[in-house]
């Protein structure tokens, strides 16, 4: 049977959020952000194998924050792509080429369980994989490099990528290693897993997700995430 693997890169410092600790350990609804994110993933995929990528000297991590029975800690890299590759290489002897790998931002604790299940199904049905995303709703301006508007972009057909992003193990590893190789697109252009797969000439499927699947990046995002989680719990209780 095809296995499902979850890779959660959590080795970043999250300096833009501020505070004395990395953003994945900031409190949210009474628990660290990391714990909230893992709990949401567990609700959708309780039987999945979790690969949690952390700094080797992470002193904030508590194993009790992990709800999964089957999981392993993996040293994270300097960049997200390095952490994901470290995880893919760590499971090389266990993962089959057709196993499904879902990569999710640790700073997206509000992802809906329904969206997680939709993404999994789409990734299984599309050989090129799939990613959660939302159509761009705001007017998009391009600047001239000096703080002035150069032009207004046509937002038709533009999507804002989210996570999880799901791909077959063999394809994702091939794509990331090729992207970072001597003839690859380079790490600056590997902004997510889909970008590496796209560089192979493939077309991942866009799965429209909820707009409240926000990424905690700036200080104001944390109270927004708190409100979103409260609203989601209220809806579930109705």
**Domains of the chain, residue spans:** 4-237
Q: Mean pLDDT across the stretch 128-133?
A: 98
Give yes or no for residue 237 having a pLDDT over 80: no
Provide the mean pLDDT of the chain.
95
Beta bridge pairs of residue 32: 27
81, burial (CB in 10 Å: exposed 0-12, middle 13-18, buried 19+): buried
Assign domain 4-237 one CATH number from 3.20.20.70, 3.40.640.10, 3.90.550.10, 1.10.287.1080. 3.90.550.10
Give yes or no for residue 236 having a pLDDT over 90: no
Give yes or no for residue 207 having a pLDDT over 80: yes
Cα–Cα dist 72/229, whole Å: 27
Nearest CA to 25 among 44, 12, 39, 8? Answer: 12
Q: Are strands 140-143 and 4-9 parallel, antiparallel or unpaired?
A: unpaired
| Token couple for 23 | 């953003």
State pTM to two decimals.
Answer: 0.95
Give yes or no for residue 18 having a pLDDT over 70: no
In the block, tokens 């049905």 appear at: 125
Beta bridge pairs of residue 51: 7, 72
Give yes or no for residue 13 having a pLDDT over 80: no
């Amino acid at each position: 049977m095809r296995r499902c693997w979850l890779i959660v890169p959590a080795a970043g410092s999250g300096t833009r959020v501020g505070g004395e600790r990395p953003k994945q350990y900031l409190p949210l609804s009474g628990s660290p952000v990391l714990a909230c994110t893992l709990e949401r993933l567990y609700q959708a995929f309780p039987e999945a194998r979790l690969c949690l990528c952390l700094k080797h000297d992470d002193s904030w991590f508590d194993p009790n924050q992990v709800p999964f029975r089957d999981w392993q800690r993996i040293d994270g890299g300097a960049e997200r792509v390095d952490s994901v590759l470290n995880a893919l290489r760590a499971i090389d002897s266990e993962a089959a080429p057709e196993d499904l790998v879902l990569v999710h931002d640790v700073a997206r604790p509000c992802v809906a369980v329904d969206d997680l299940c939709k993404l999994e199904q789409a990734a299984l049905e599309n050989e090129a994989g799939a990613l959660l995303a939302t159509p761009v709703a705001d007017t998009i301006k391009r600047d001239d490099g000096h703080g002035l508007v150069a032009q207004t972009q046509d937002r038709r057909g533009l999507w804002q990528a989210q996570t999880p992003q799901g791909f077959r193990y063999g394809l994702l590893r091939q794509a990331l290693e090729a992207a970072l190789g001597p003839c690859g697109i380079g790490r600056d252009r590997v902004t997510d897993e889909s970008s590496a797969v796209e560089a192979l000439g493939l077309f991942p499927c866009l799965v429209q997700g909820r707009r409240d699947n926000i990424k905690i990046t700036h200080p104001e995002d944390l109270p927004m995430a708190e409100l979103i989680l409260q609203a989601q719990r209220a809806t579930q209780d109705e």
